[in-house]
Amino acid sequence: MNAPLTFAIPKGRILDEALPVMARAGVVPEAAFHDKDNRSLTFACEREDLRLIRVRAFDVATFVAHGAAQLGIVGSDVIEEFDYPDLYAPVDLSIGHCRLCVAEPESGAATPSRASHLRVATKYPNITRRHFEARGIQAECVKLNGAMEIAPALGLAGRIVDLVSSGRTLAENGLIETSTIMQVSARLIANRAAMKTDPRVAALVEAFRRNADSETAA
Ligand SMILES: Nc1ncnc2c1ncn2[C@@H]1O[C@H](COP(=O)(O)OP(=O)(O)OP(=O)(O)O)[C@@H](O)[C@H]1O
Ligand SMILES: O=P(O)(O)OC[C@H]1O[C@H](OP(=O)(O)OP(=O)(O)O)[C@H](O)[C@@H]1O
């Protein structure tokens, strides 16, 4: 039998929405996957030639881009941040909807947006730099891994770039959205080389694509 395919999924908030989408494409993890006390990071699937790895959202893209996993599910925010040439993102799964935004204190305390240099706290330094560069502004990014929303009040940065869904986190931390950088949803990703050389990868991409198309048509 061929070596098993490795499918990387994020352990964060996309996971609950991803499981039914995966099941429709025939990717069903073993029961142990749902056991909250299980510390394993690798799980067998109903399909014997497939295994799942459960990793952090940003790492899903890294595993797949380097061919350590052949397939994965990740937000388009993460794909855009890394911009890996070996990553192919063929199917929008219509889950994990949110947007990546610039926000600043509603009190108006941030440096004026016409300034040529700004300090921005974010988990997305590459997207942030590109966004401001396109507007002739040099963004100095302070990399945080979460809780960006407290940075302006503590003087760490005048602005943040972060994900927004309901807008509650911004509002409850005295921030307002000043622009939207991109709309975000989760994608099926595949390693480009694996897609060309292993027909099982192409077949799985096709199964996800068919389901996504029938969802859109319904
Ligand atoms: N508020 C949100 N609403 C909808 N989707 C979101 C929201 N926040 C994040 N996402 C999507 O879920 C992905 C993972 O988010 P999650 O919150 O699980 O990350 P995290 O906890 O910061 O990850 P990690 O702890 O692995 O770094 C994001 O990359 C994005 O695509
Ligand atoms: O607009 P809202 O509905 O309030 O959602 C936005 C929040 O959701 C995400 O954080 P998450 O809850 O994943 O926590 P994190 O800060 O640990 O990433 C994001 O980073 C925002 O903080």
ipTM over 0.85: yes
> Is 105:175 a contact under the CB 8 Å cutoff?
yes
Range of the domain at 57: 5-96+185-217
Mark whether 34 and 86 lie in a shared domain.
yes
Mark whether 60 and 77 lie in a shared domain.
yes
CATH number of the domain bearing residue 142: 3.40.190.10
What is the structure's pLDDT at 107? 85
Distance (Å) from CA 11 to ligand 2 centroid: 15
Mark whether 92 and 114 lie in a shared domain.
no
Mark whether 133 and 176 lie in a shared domain.
yes
Strands 5-10 and 50-55: parallel
Mark whether 61 and 165 lie in a shared domain.
no
Q: For the chain, how many structural domains are there in total?
A: 2
Mark whether 126 and 104 lie in a shared domain.
yes
Residues with CB under 6 A from ligand 2: 13, 146-147, 162-169
Summarize pLDDT for 47-66 with one digit per residue, the tens. Answer: 999 999 999 999 999 999 99
Mutation choice for ligand 2 from 165, 172, 177, CB with most ligand atoms inside 8 A = 165
pLDDT above 70: percentage of residues in the chain = 96
Helix (H, G, I), strand (E, B) or coil at 1: coil
Summarize pLDDT for 124-149 with one digit per residue, the tens. Answer: 999 999 999 999 999 999 999 999 99
**Nearest atom, ligand 2, residue 163 CA:** 19
Mark whether 92 and 189 lie in a shared domain.
yes
Distance (Å) from CA 11 to ligand 1 centroid: 9
Distance (Å) from CA 40 to ligand 1 centroid: 21
